[in-house]
Structure 1
Amino acid sequence: MAPDPLPAVLPGGPDEAWHQRMRLERELHDGPALRLSALALRLGLLSHRSQDPEIAEGISGVQDELHAVLQELRDLAGKLYPPLLDEAGLGPALRQVAEHTDAPIAIVDSEERFGPALEGATYFALAECLAALPVGAPAVEVAISREGDELVLAVTGLEPGATGRLQETARSLGGVTTVGPSSEVTVRIPCA
């Protein structure tokens, strides 16, 4: 489910990399996706106006293909930078990932915002960990909060080894990871 990430650092720094992801997502939505939607509507009108059933059926087939391409484009745009992450933040975006996972996942969220770069990097790292859960995996909980000037993620129900991408991301952002006695993985990343 989690896509291969774009480079974490561009010439403008990490914030610029995440802003570029957001721009690309919007450009895909506002450009090609809207044009494909308009074409599908126009084909629908042509299909209804057609007197020839074979032509109407052919138009309907092309319209179905346009809808499929449009969905693929939306999925691709969402992998660049999920619109919900930009609109609502880390907790709601991770809940959306959890809904498409075959394991029970609870996201506990303080509803605070942490900036596009930190939210983006954390989202993609956690999404990769959650997407790798096998069918029938035990329940997982991810608690998201702010403590002082740190984003704190407490992950229970995942083996510490299954959080490698999250731990790597935390280190790359100047954060630290601790593993508690019950295998709870706690990640603290500066919010600077």
Structure 2
Amino acid sequence: MAVGATMHTFTVQLADVDRGVYEELSLRVARHPSETDAFMMTRVLAYCLEYEEGIAFSDGISATDEPAVLVRDLTGALTAWIEVGAPDAARLHSGSMQAGRTAVYTHRDPAKVAAPWAGKRIHRGDEILLHSFDPGFVDAAAALVERRSAMTLSVTERRIYLDHGGTSLESDIHTQTAA
């Protein structure tokens, strides 16, 4: 954990109907001082939407050789490289070389995130998925975050429903390839 990081605890009731994943998650998330609330919320959403055995948050900004979220199998081999925000093409290329699956979750305009990747060498770029949400969804969700947050997150037909303290938000999950 970085010096000056703020710890957040999320209790998430996850019901991902699309993937058949139903879990209660207890997440401890260290928010680096330079990290925005929207970026942290996107990390939490990526973790939930990618949840499977072996998933973990990396050490964050200080872990320059790891993505924001990663998945390892029982042998410790990296199986999924999950970036958050707007990674550069070289980082995606490296991640795709190391893991069987690579994905990006962003709280930004996906066209602006993907534009710098055009014409760049990205290993298996046509297999890398870029996920985004309706404009304002992540910012509205981030505004609800407290040091201890309890929420319900449901996914059905690629639509996300988030309930946090009686406030309900929803968004489509938009997906495109990196290439």
TM-score w.r.t. the length of structure 1 is: 0.28
- Higher Cα radius of gyration: 1
Greater helix content: 1
TM-score w.r.t. the length of structure 2 is: 0.29
Greater strand content: 2
